[in-house]
Structure 1
């Protein structure tokens, strides 16, 4: 019955808030620091996206809600060719959802693990594309703080896109960040220094140091310093003092000179802006308009015939996940029905209070609707014109960990 109409896409009221039912779940493709990622298709437009979903109760128990809110507040104000852009955010009783650009080329960490050899030409283009993204973030007063191969995704043509803003921070004017944040092997000397002696703080140059470490690793297959997550901070600072970075004799002088400028220990002398990097002789021949328009073809193009990620993510979702996404609709209906009976098992009061706060404070976002309202078509969004500047002002370093303090003044564990 009605089978002859099944090929027609469903029509949703354009004023209706986007929700889980608007998407078809296709497959799981990844696991973030505190969420899972799957490929989805929007039922009405047939457009494909990546959907990150984070269980509310787990986020509360692990004290990670602030990171989700931080990422949402930052990403709703951004749109750039070399970022992973946010399209929708919504929630239900169990989860918080972020729907973003789908990039099927895999992350650079995956390709390093697959022993891909990145040529100097390829890495040179990556540096330029990432420099444009970092300059854009700088314009919006954002320090990403976690630039590394794991957080750089490739599209199907091989262009790079920065993802994962959950530890990013916003600084205004001459303000500096002071909290310890990042992934140790990619963190700049001044971040460790602040932690050790409460130095002057740090700013945008930390992302350019991380870019230098990442570029070196892509070219060589390992990083310039033997730093791991367990390496003590005093040992790391001593390493920066006494160890010299070894550059391969096979690399051209221009690339070595550029890496030296990115890996300068003094942030005041480090290349840390688009103007700085455009002034480097090695990049003098670069057509920056062509870079921005993705008109230059990367030397490495991901394999289109395969999914560039670990296939075990799909198995985990199907076999190990206690609340799999594809069974959500039935599960929520069952829970709602049970809530009205004596069988319901109430959560402890504090956890319930935290869940209610998350529900109230969650930021719903719809870029498609926003574009319609503003009549901007595909133009870049002006953050301040729709309150993004106000949202970002809440995220000043040192204040960005207090999003739930008015109700959650102690650890939220069930």
Structure 2
């Protein structure tokens, strides 16, 4: 029933009315990127030389293996850093050129081992890397290419989601989404959650800021720092995630499963439609202060969309909509709507939003 994880609660969403960031583990600051505040790299060569200087002198040879290996076939010298995408407690993420791979544009995450060990976070970092690798075949997850370690740092090379930022940023610029656009994002996120669930991964931090968007505004789920695998019949107990998206069973220290991700999904859809949170938790800072209600009110959503959100926000996880097959039967998706086309990226959210 229990597990060895430590409780880790975040209010790290950019609030609809007030921004507070507590969880910033290796999370790109997409808002700054979108606003043209990308920080240019200075003294790149000396920075990388310092990291590579101790390549073959490992001080902690086993703490991060087997996920991160000491390797001689790849190093940071194979990459030309172009700009800083963001930084967190343990890491900095850069946009880079992969020189030995036709100058492909990638994202490279560099993590300081001393800081990770100081905070006893090595298990979390290793788990995040392992889960990202496990999920890398989905079109809804940035590809995970390579990882390795030196004596002082960890390196991860991933697909660079070189789009317009994240769903929060798009919501800020757009305001309330049209139902056509919400329908497509609902389908894409639902397909992504189904993919995670089929691989026994509970995400635990689905929110607008963790839904990155590519150049055509299709989704990519990012930041698996709170994710973990659940074997059949296994339940989690850790209180973690972002408060305003936290399912009631998590907040009340009840054992839980994949249903918590579908609750977060309901909160995402509610915010896109109503421009506020479904419950008065916008200024809450601890999980014990979260409040919920069996009644969810709507002012903008159509009856079809409201019906779906209400089923996703059911207080009882046993009665909550929490599988793709049930999602596909909802009135929001008419018989002419093709989930298969959505999965092939044949339906473009840009056109749906621009035509509304």
Question: TM-score category by the smaller chain?
Answer: 0.7 to 0.9
Partners of 2:154 and 2:272 lie apart in 1 by 34
The residue aligned with 2:345 is 294
Partners of 2:239 and 2:226 lie apart in 1 by 10
The residue aligned with 1:96 is 154
The residue aligned with 2:170 is 111
Q: 1:53 aligns with which of 103, 110, 128?
A: 110
The residue aligned with 1:204 is 258
Deviation, 1:231, is 3.7
Deviation, 1:75, is 1.4
1:130-149 equivalences under 5 Å are 130-149=189-208
The residue aligned with 1:190 is 249
The change in CA–CA distance for 1:292 and 1:43 in structure 2 (over 3 A counts) is same
Q: 1:29 aligns with which of 66, 69, 85?
A: 85
Q: Deviations over 1:86-116 (max 9, x none)?
A: 1111222332111111112211223334454
Q: Which moved more, 1:115-124 or 1:182-191?
A: 115-124
The change in CA–CA distance for 1:121 and 1:144 in structure 2 (over 3 A counts) is same
Partners of 1:120 and 1:35 lie apart in 2 by 38
**What is the aligned length?**
280
The residue aligned with 2:314 is 264
1:269-280 equivalences under 5 Å are 269-280=319-330
Deviation, 1:217, is 1.2
Q: 1:164 aligns with which of 220, 223, 240?
A: 223
Q: Any gaps of 5 or more consecutive residues in structure 1?
A: 1-14, 303-414
Larger Rg: 1
The residue aligned with 1:240 is 292
With structure 2 as the length reference, what TM-score do the two structures score?
Answer: 0.73
Note if 1:38 corresponds to 2:94: yes
Higher strand share: 2
Deviation, 1:246, is 1.9
The residue aligned with 1:223 is 277
Partners of 1:283 and 1:49 lie apart in 2 by 35
The residue aligned with 2:187 is 128
1:355-374 equivalences under 5 Å are none
With structure 1 as the length reference, what TM-score do the two structures score?
Answer: 0.64
The residue aligned with 1:80 is 138
Deviation, 1:266, is 0.9
Partners of 2:117 and 2:283 lie apart in 1 by 24
Tell me the secondary structure at the aligned position of residue 40 of structure 1: strand
Partners of 2:244 and 2:90 lie apart in 1 by 20
Q: Confirm or deny: 8 A CA contact 2:96 2:108 kept in the other structure.
A: yes
Partners of 2:154 and 2:282 lie apart in 1 by 32
Q: Deviations over 1:155-199 (max 9, x none)?
A: 011101111111101111111111111111111111112x2xxx4
Partners of 2:260 and 2:113 lie apart in 1 by 31
Deviation, 1:117, is 4.2
Q: Deviations over 1:337-363 (max 9, x none)?
A: xxxxxxxxxxxxxxxxxxxxxxxxxxx
What is the Cα-based RMSD across aligned positions, in Å?
2.2
Deviation, 1:34, is 3.5
The change in CA–CA distance for 1:245 and 1:164 in structure 2 (over 3 A counts) is same
Deviation, 1:43, is 0.3
Q: Any gaps of 5 or more consecutive residues in structure 2?
A: 1-70
Tell me the secondary structure at the aligned position of residue 296 of structure 2: coil
Higher helix share: 1
Higher relative contact order (CA 8 A, sep 6+): 1
Partners of 1:229 and 1:172 lie apart in 2 by 35
The change in CA–CA distance for 1:117 and 1:50 in structure 2 (over 3 A counts) is farther
Partners of 2:138 and 2:104 lie apart in 1 by 19
Partners of 2:89 and 2:256 lie apart in 1 by 24
Deviation, 1:138, is 0.7
Tell me the secondary structure at the aligned position of residue 295 of structure 2: coil
The residue aligned with 1:345 is none
Q: Deviations over 1:6-63 (max 9, x none)?
A: xxxxxxxxx9632211111010012346422110111022111111221111112222
Partners of 1:99 and 1:203 lie apart in 2 by 30
Q: Confirm or deny: 8 A CA contact 1:35 1:55 kept in the other structure.
A: yes
The residue aligned with 1:330 is none
